[in-house]
């Protein structure tokens, strides 16, 4: 029998299913289903200290509540999986306090939603403020389409899961599988994706920027093969957690571990480049404004002078997320890897 390759798009991931070549269509789809079933989320380093409890305030807007009838129960299940990772790897467990958010804005961007959430609740008395908003009418594999977190900060928003569209994609792609098999794969992917999105955005609020390592939680693209945070992101997050939870650091912090209060930083063993970004996204170094071209040259000079130069980005709570990411990307493009965040 002649082998035929069929391109299938499932949940933002493109894969090639080969029929023939000794396998039936059902066997090929079983193989594909196994490949698309995500791994369990894990931690690379087990936390050995006491587990702290931290309260998060969760707001669900009108559209989210309309799309998710039992939204509190659904988020409880999502948070339970997230807490398995946070407790085992970071020594903290989150407890949700639920509120309704009288907001109907299905066409607004996540950046607008994040700004509105910040105005609604400053979050001074809780560990995090989480906003839940409507799902997209499409399947997305980019975190910025389905979630956004302040970098760093205490606010994040995530979209609901695109149930209808994910199910339709599975039903079209896996026609030879039993309904129970499709349902099991769907449930596993939903559980993995919702938990990973929330962990990714929590990572941002705890000072971790995007990383290039494929199939890790802080990569800008969602992957159904992601299982854990990369080591550098974990160190940044632990340093922020130590500060917020007022606990003594019990891990081997790197030079990039900083507080989020902006009051002090771990003493660097190498040169430090401090960049301040205001609420309009304008960057200054040593009190002097710098544009994108000057910033790139400054990063290159810093790298040439000392490959281990530490780049510290100090941002206000109202600093645009994109402005901070652009600076961090410029640093990484120059070869600098010791990146840290602080709140101005």
HEC sequence for 96-127: EEEEEECCCCCCCCHHHHHHHHHHHCCCCCCC
**pLDDT surpassing 70 at residue 288:** yes
pTM: 0.68
Higher pLDDT, 164 or 70: 70
| % of the chain exceeding 70 in pLDDT | 78
**pLDDT surpassing 80 at residue 304:** no
Write the pLDDT tens digit of every residue in 205-216.
998 888 889 899
Sign for the CA dihedral angle at 139, 80, 206, 229 comes to negative
The H or E element that residue 178 is part of is none
Query: What is the CATH code for 254-343?
Result: 3.30.420.270
Q: CB under 8 Å to 132, separation ≥6 — which residues?
A: 58, 59, 60, 61, 64, 71, 75, 101, 157, 158, 159, 160
Write the pLDDT tens digit of every residue in 170-200.
777 777 777 777 778 788 888 999 999 999 9
List the beta strands (DSSP E) in the chain. 4-10, 13-19, 52-61, 92-101, 128-133, 147-149, 155-159, 272-277, 283-285, 288-290, 310-315, 338-343
Q: CB under 8 Å to 244, separation ≥6 — which residues?
A: 54, 127, 260
Give the position of tokens 């939603």. 113
**Order of strands, sheet of 52-61, starting from the edge strand that comes earlier in the sequence:** 92-101, 52-61, 128-133, 155-159, 147-149
HSE-up of residue 75 (Cα within 13 Å, Cβ side)? 27
Three-state DSSP string of 141-168: CEHHHHEEECCCCCEEEEECCCHHHHHH
Q: Using an 8 Å Cβ cutoff, are 82 and 115 in contact?
A: no
| % of the chain exceeding 90 in pLDDT | 34
Record: fold of 52-234:
Collagenase (Catalytic Domain) (3.40.390)
Write the pLDDT tens digit of every residue in 64-121.
999 899 999 999 999 999 999 999 999 999 999 999 999 998 788 888 999 999 999 9
* Of 14, 99, 88, the residue nearest 48 (C-alpha): 88
Write the pLDDT tens digit of every residue in 216-241.
999 888 888 899 999 999 999 998 99
Q: What is the largest CA-CA distance in the chain?
A: 71
DSSP 3-state of 203: helix
Predicted pLDDT at 157: 96
278 CB-contact burial (10 Å; exposed 0-12 / middle 13-18 / buried 19+): middle
Q: Average pLDDT of 36-61?
A: 91
Of 24-38, 55-69, 89-103, 237-251, minimum mean pLDDT range: 24-38
Structure tokens at 177: 């599988």
Write the pLDDT tens digit of every residue in 249-284.
644 333 333 333 333 333 334 577 888 888 888 988
Q: How far is CA 173 from CA 14, 170, 224, 330, in A?
A: 11, 5, 17, 40
Structure tokens at 197: 């999105």
State how far the Cα of 195 lies from the Cα of 342, in Å rounded to an integer.
Answer: 26
* Of 39, 44, 42, the residue nearest 232 (C-alpha): 44
Higher pLDDT, 37 or 96: 96
Q: Average pLDDT of 124-147?
A: 77
Q: How far is CA 103 from CA 62, 112, 153, in A?
A: 6, 12, 22
DSSP 3-state of 208: coil
Higher pLDDT, 64 or 9: 64
């Amino acid at each position: 029998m002649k082998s035929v390759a069929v391109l299938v798009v499932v949940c933002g991931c493109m894969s090639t299913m080969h029929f023939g070549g000794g396998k039936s269509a059902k066997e090929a789809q079983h193989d594909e289903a196994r490949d698309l079933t995500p791994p369990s989320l894990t931690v690379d380093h087990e936390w050995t200290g006491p587990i702290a409890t931290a309260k998060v305030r969760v707001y669900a807007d009108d559209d989210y509540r309309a799309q998710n009838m039992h939204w509190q129960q659904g988020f409880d299940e999502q948070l339970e999986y997230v807490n398995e990772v946070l407790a085992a790897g970071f020594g903290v467990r989150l407890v949700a306090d639920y509120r309704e958010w009288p907001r109907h804005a299905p066409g607004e961007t996540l950046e607008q939603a994040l700004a509105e959430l910040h105005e609604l609740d400053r979050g001074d008395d809780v560990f995090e403020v989480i906003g839940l908003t409507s799902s997209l009418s499409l399947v997305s594999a980019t975190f910025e389409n389905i979630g956004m977190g302040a970098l760093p900060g205490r606010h994040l928003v995530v979209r609901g899961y695109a149930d209808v569209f994910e199910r339709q994609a599975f039903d079209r792609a896996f026609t030879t599988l039993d309904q129970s098999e499709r349902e099991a794969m769907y449930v596993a992917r939903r559980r993995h994706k919702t938990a990973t999105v929330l962990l990714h955005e929590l990572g941002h609020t705890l000072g971790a920027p995007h990383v290039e390592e494929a199939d890790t939680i802080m990569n800008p693209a969602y992957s159904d093969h992601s299982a854990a945070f990369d080591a550098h992101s974990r160190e940044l997050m632990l340093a922020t957690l130590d500060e917020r939870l007022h606990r003594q650091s019990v891990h081997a912090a790197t030079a990039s571990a900083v507080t989020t209060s902006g009051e002090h930083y771990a003493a660097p063993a190498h040169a430090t480049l401090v960049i301040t970004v205001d609420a309009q996204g304008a960057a200054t170094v040593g009190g002097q404004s710098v544009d994108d071209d000057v910033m790139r040259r400054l990063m290159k000079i810093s790298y040439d002078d000392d490959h281990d130069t530490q780049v510290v980005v100090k941002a206000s709570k109202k600093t645009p997320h994109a402005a901070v990411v652009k600076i961090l990307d410029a640093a990484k493009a120059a070869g600098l890897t010791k990146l840290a965040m602080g709140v101005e």
